[in-house]
Amino acid sequence: MIDNPWFFAAALPAVFINGVSKGGFGSGLGILSVPLMALTVPVTEAAAIMLPILCAMDLVALWAYRRNWDRENMKIMLPAGLAGLVLGALTFRYINEAGLKLVLGTVAVGFVLYHWSGAARQLAKTHPSKAKGYFWCCVSGYTSTLAHAGGPPMSVYLLPQRLDKALLAGTAVVFFAVLNYVKLVPYFWLGLFDARNLATAAALAPIGVLGILAGVWVRKRISEALFYRLCYGFLLVTGGKLLYDSVTRLI
């Protein structure tokens, strides 16, 4: 197991925040986990440690939202997400991480700013769409495979539908739970798991479970309007973090 105290200083809040986000807000803020861990370990190692933790958290989240997920959306989202996952696995070793973060961050921030603009307020809520769903959820599966960063593309597709807050969170939970368990295969294939990473993940997993329970508790106690404001706010924060990371790496 990793014995660097600075790693755990970054990893403990990273895992807890991911759990709160997954349990209550559709996984958006969970995108911060890998960047926070990557302050002390390589990005690939951070991603490898995080995946078993995500899988453990998914079990709790699936139970919490077992009756609250959108089946019509899932028929569109899952095939697209799995296609993106395969593409991510095949290009994992060749991707430019800074470029990927730049594109993701730009999309996330631009989407939130558009939503807050006068033009967006004039639009009616959207409905499940094969064209939009296939595109954004394929991107989500791709970025999720590379750095567990699938939240922003998925949010671009789901948030405009203005689903009930439990339905939105549950749909995101089911989508990413399937992707995370399938991702175990390419991560093993890529040689990203070793005894140290798995032991570290096992030590951190209970923190993630506590985060899930905290997220479910918070979601039940806030209004629908506040919930969506928080979702868009989290998306803006994560997009800004991605842009910052990409610019600092490219300079």
Q: DSSP of 64-130, one letter per residue? A: HTTT---HHHHHHHHHHHHHHHHHHHHHTTT--HHHHHHHHHHHHHHHHHHHHSHHHHTSPPP---H
Q: Residue 227: what pLDDT?
A: 66
What is the DSSP-derived secondary structure letter of residue 193?
A: -
Residues 6+ apart with CB under 8 A from 107: 152, 153, 156, 239
Report field, pTM of the whole predicted structure over 0.75: yes
Find out whether 166 and 68 touch, Cβ atoms under 8 Å. yes
Q: Residue 160: what pLDDT?
A: 86
With a cut of 70, say whether residue 155 has pLDDT above it: yes
Residues 205-209 have a mean pLDDT of 92
- Which of the given ranges, 53-67, 86-100, 226-240, has the highest pLDDT on average? 53-67
DSSP state letters, 30-61: GGGHHHHHTTTS-HHHHHHHHHHHHHHHHHHH
Q: Residue 76: what pLDDT?
A: 96
Give CA–CA dist 199/182, Å, rounded.
20
